[in-house]
Structure 1
Amino acid sequence: MSSAPEQPETPVDPAKRANRRTLYFGLAVLAGLVLGAVLGFVAKQTGAEWLDTTLSTIGNIFTSLLQFTVIPLVFTAIVVGVNSLRGLGGPRTAARLGGKTLLWFGITSLIAVLIGIAVGLIGGVGKGLTIEPSAANVEKIASRTPGDWLTVLNGLVPENIVNAFAQGEVLQVVFVAVLIGVATYALGDKAAPFVAVNRAVFDIIQKVLGWIIKLAPIGVLGLIGHAFATYGNTFVSRLLSLIAAVYIAAALVLFVVYPVLLRFVGKVSPLTFFAKSWTALQFAFVSRSSGATLPLSRQTAVNLGVEPGYAGFAVPLGTTTKMDGCAALYPAIATIFIANLFGISLSFWQYAGIVLVAVFGSFATAGTTGWFSMLTLTLSTIGLPPEAVATGLAIVIGIDPILDMIRTATNVGGQIVVPVLVSRSEGLLDDKVLHTPSAPPLLDGPVEAETPRAEKEPVPA
């Protein structure tokens, strides 16, 4: 009796496996959001301080895990990224790419701040509200350094390079990283061992972050739960105009402006962009940290066809200077909100000051605290009364966790979009990679190496 021949196993499509993992991860994060909100609401209604404390502890641990990786990640990413530009055509090409990147940073910031002003004026944010700041929030404001141009310039260059890293001064670390990156680029082979060490550290930090990111469903449960337990429904309803305005403006930038630029400038389908960037945008939303999202943002840019060397330069640079959410649209809306709260009518020149700060001041924001420096810088530039500034800041800092989610997602969207636009203009965008399904960054397999595509197997036209 003859047996039927064994049927060969059907290989699993990597794209389908990647899509399943993305789906499962997204559902897990959504479940964390819902469960966290329910637990936070229960803690608020029952006065269960132990539950609020537990949720807060979970959120704080997750945030701390993310934050401790930011400084080494930003430094090594910029050093390696600057040196990776070597394979793109020499110093002139590298300088041209850097110039175009900064130009697009400014253009998109201008668009974002104008949208923020329009939404703030049309929505009348802050009108009719009579909220007094709590003593705790006033103390928070008093303990924080306001943003002004002298503070930014004085804080740019560290007096001690060790202190810059030890104290987590992200802007100073960026300055040092760019300086060292350019120096190692100029030294060439002499600095190759140092660059190799930075590349190894960069890969190690990305691996560690990949493990941390998988804890996002648990982390967001704690973060969202604590927010609901602290603020409850009253907080949401009384400040609905500000929350709605920020989310509407951010949605216009993220889902209208960026897709239009991608379609008509980058010649990239918005559907392809969002399909490949959704994991990064989702994680940015729940983590509220552009720095923590950096590995996902960079790999997403690579998956969209951006040269890995250029992505390793532009995305880390954008993480600290490209903040359309925190540094452009939000300061505009929050300034209008505070002015309306105190019955102050802003002049044309004050609105011009808001635009000026958004376009040029955004280059001086840093890490996850850039919104505060940018908002105080904006308020001080247009000359609002000190009591209005202090009270307004005390109010908005109380609801910052809710606002920061969409702001950070918008930041990250812009940090991915600009490298795509610049790459297309330079003829560096790899359309074969762009249209190839790819695994979610850091959720399935290692990230793309830093090797320039020019050194890989040539892609047929």
Structure 2
Amino acid sequence: MRAIARIPFGIQVLIGLVLGIVLGLVAAPMGESGWLTVTLDTIGSAFVTLLKALVPPLVFLAIVSSIANLRQVANAARLAWQTLLWFAITAIIATGIGIGLGVLTSPGSRSSVDASSAGVSDTQGSWLDFLVGLVPANFLGINAHGTDDGSVVMGFNTLQILVISIAVGIAVLSVGAKADPFLNVVNSLLAVVQKLLWWVIRLAPIGTVGLLGFAVATYGWSAIGQLGWFVADIYIGLALVAFVVYPVLLRLNGLGIRSFARGVWPATSLGFVSRSSLGTMPMTQTVTERMGVPRHYASFAIPLGATTKMDGCAAIYPALASIFVANFYGIDLSIMQYVLIVVVSVLGSAATAGMTGATVMLTLTLSTLGLPLEGVGLLLAIDPIIDMGRTALNVTGQSLVGVIVAQREKILDRAQYDAAATTAFRGIDAEAEPAATVAEASDAAQAPGDADRVPQPTRA
């Protein structure tokens, strides 16, 4: 076990990816009821279920704590505005790339998928549903629904939890010093939840084997072949944003590409495996802080990004999927409809709610454009395969915006950022937090009450 622990986390995930593909190919001939396929499904489902179980308390506590901590920051309003602005900028660019690829390749007209597979998804989104969904049904955002066998399934609405937590965070700011005892409890609970989540994240390499193995065994290469142009467009778009757009933005802001790529890799790889931006959030915040972003800003930008910043799920994917559906049904899109795709991608990102899948965002886009919702069923067969890449880009973009805004506002520790190009991320434990930077230590000395929030030095 000690030997395994010494292997960098990213390498462990890569090993899980390779093993998952191999086992998936072995399980494919056995069918969905084969013992190996069932085993892979059980392992992958258990990992995702563990992540989902910790999401509601994590979102609530992280958002409340991050908003409350903004009272220690003199330029909090400017940081928040810059963060939202860069969320929109990167979303517009990603959406434009998706539209461009769709127009050039017409993926729907090149598909061999059977029209009989078309069908309206059980999970749908519309602007009315989106607006109604903003109103919390209860304080915890919990909902329940009955099933055909008479049992009751409990769930949660991440968007409602986000609204509740923002309201509570603002209330804490308004109350002032009287809310300090409450905030202390929130911070203590957040530390406990993050510790639990780190334990789950330790299982990511094993979860990788199950998730990817089951996807390969169940969906196989036939479904990918039928939608080959669409899958290729998705991953080409993701690659263009990750390897062209993001590096250009980094260079334009005077930041090294290698430092960011090496620093963000653990979060990117975990997002690829878990297919959950929220489940990856602690890792994303950790790597962002390790790249020199002050904790008081990272603790605000990353939780917000994990729920609203989706360059993969809410930008590239709905743009390409909408064009695919239009091609498939022989519908010509107007310039105004292309503009609407961009608008929906920028304004509707929160509808994805940070969890696995982007069906809600797609149905929201299709309904806005007036395209057949039955087109969703055409793409469901390969959704898990492309969702891995989408989520990996999501979390990468969330960290990117944090780094860029910190650089532009002159709060980024450049020495720590540049050091990320030569230091490997090995820690995976909750205590393995970024070392305190000189800038943070200086701020703590000048601002009473900040010292307890400065990251402490830890082992390499």
Q: Deviations over 1:330-363 (max 9, x none)?
A: 1000111111112222111111111111122224
What is the CA–CA distance in structure 1 between the aligned matches of 2:199 and 2:229, rounded to whole Å? 38
SS at structure 1 position matched to 2:142: helix
CA contact (8 A) 1:35 1:221 kept: yes
Please list the CA deviations of residues 236-256 of structure 1 after superposition, one character each: whole Å capped at 9, or x if unmatched.
Answer: 222111111111101111111
- Give yes or no for contact 2:8–2:424 (8 Å, CA) kept in 1: no
Cα distance change of structure 1 residues 442 and 133 upon mapping to structure 2, 3 Å threshold = farther
Displacement, 1:224? Answer: 1.1
CA gap of 1:22–1:410, structure 2 versus 1, over 3 A, is: farther
1:410 aligns with 2:388: no
Q: 1:62 aligns with which of 36, 47, 54?
A: 47
C-alpha distance in 2, partners of 1:152/1:450? 41
Query: Counterpart of 1:401?
Result: 384
Q: 1:161 aligns with which of 139, 146, 156?
A: 139
* Aligned partners of 2:256 and 2:418 also within 8 Å: no
Q: Secondary structure at the match of 1:167?
A: strand
Q: Which residue of 1 aligns with 2:146?
A: none
Residues 141-160 of structure 1: per-residue CA shift (max 9 Å, x gap): 4522x211111111102131
Report the TM-score when normalising by structure 1: 0.87
Q: Secondary structure at the match of 1:343?
A: coil
Give distance in 1, aligned partners of 2:135 and 2:35: 44
Deviations 1:203-235 (A, max 9, x none): 112212222112112111111111111122211
Whether the 8 Å contact between 1:327 and 1:371 is mirrored in structure 2 is yes
Higher gyration radius (CA): 1
CA pair 22-271 structure 1, distance change in 2 beyond 3 A: farther
Instruction: Give yes or no for contact 1:280–1:293 (8 Å, CA) kept in 2.
Output: yes
Residue of structure 2 in register with 1:34 after alignment: 18
Q: 1:186 to 1:436 in 2, by over 3 A?
A: farther
Task: Name which of structure 1's ranges 284-293 and 226-235 shifts more when overlaid on structure 2.
Answer: 226-235
Q: Which residue of 1 aligns with 2:172?
A: 184
Whether the 8 Å contact between 1:326 and 1:408 is mirrored in structure 2 is yes
Question: Counterpart amino acid of 2:388?
Answer: M
Cα deviation code 1:109-131 (max 9, x no counterpart): 11110010011122221223242
Match of 1:338 among 325, 349, 358: 325
Give the TM-score normalised by the residue count of structure 2: 0.87
| Structure 2 unaligned regions, length at least 5 | 144-153, 447-453, 455-460
- Secondary structure at the counterpart of residue 306 of structure 1: coil
Q: Are the aligned partners of 1:296 and 1:442 in contact in 2 as well (CA < 8 Å)?
A: no
Distance 1:23 1:379 in 2: 45
1:88-107 correspondence to structure 2 within 5 Å = 88-89=73-74, 93-107=75-89
- Return the letter of the residue paired with 1:430: D
| Residue of structure 2 in register with 1:76 after alignment | 61
1:312 aligns with 2:294: no
**Paired position in structure 1 for 2:126:** 148
Tell me the SS of whatever aligns to 1:69: helix
Deviation at 1:457, TM superposition (A): 6.0
Quick one: structure 1 residues 442 and 367, their matched pair in 2 at CA, closer, same or farther if it must change by over 3 Å? farther
Equivalent-residue separation in structure 2 for 1:377 and 1:174 (angstroms): 19
Partner of 1:240: 228
How far apart, in 1, do the equivalents of 2:51 and 2:77 lie? Answer: 32
CA distance in 2, matches of 1:243, 1:313: 34
Q: Which amino acid aligns with 1:210?
A: W
Structure 2: distance between partners of 1:80 and 1:455? 19
Aligned to 2:359: 372
**Displaced runs of 4 or more, over 4 A:** 20-23, 448-455
Once the two structures are superposed, the pairs formed by residues 213-232 of structure 1 within 5 Å of their partners are 213-232=201-220
1:428 counterpart (398, 411, 429): 411
Q: Deviations for 1:73-129, whole angstroms, at most 9, x for unmatched residues?
A: 11111111112222221xxx2111111111111111111100100111222212232
Q: Give me the whole-angstrom Cα distance separating, in 2, the residues matched to 1:161 and 1:191.
A: 19
Q: How does 1:254-333 map to 2 (within 5 A)?
A: 254-265=242-253, 267-333=254-320
Q: Find the aligned partners of 1:308 and 1:441 in 2 and give their Cα distance.
A: 20
Letter paired with 1:76? L
CA distance in 1, matches of 2:202, 2:176: 38
Corresponding position of 1:196: 184
Within the candidate set 77, 83, 87, 2:72 is matched to 87
- Superposition CA RMSD, Å: 2.4
CA distance in 2, matches of 1:27, 1:163: 37
Gaps of 5+ in 1: 1-19
SS in 1 for 2:104: helix
Percent identity between matched residues is 46
Does structure 1 residue 360 correspond to structure 2 residue 347? Answer: yes
Separation (CA, whole Å) in 2 of partners of 1:129 and 1:364 = 28
Change (3 A) 1:41 1:370: closer
Contact kept in structure 1, 2:356 and 2:387, CA below 8 Å: no
Query: Would you say how many aligned residue pairs link Structure 1 and Structure 2?
Result: 428
1:173-207 Cα distance to aligned partner (Å, 9 max, x none): 11111111111122221111111111112111221
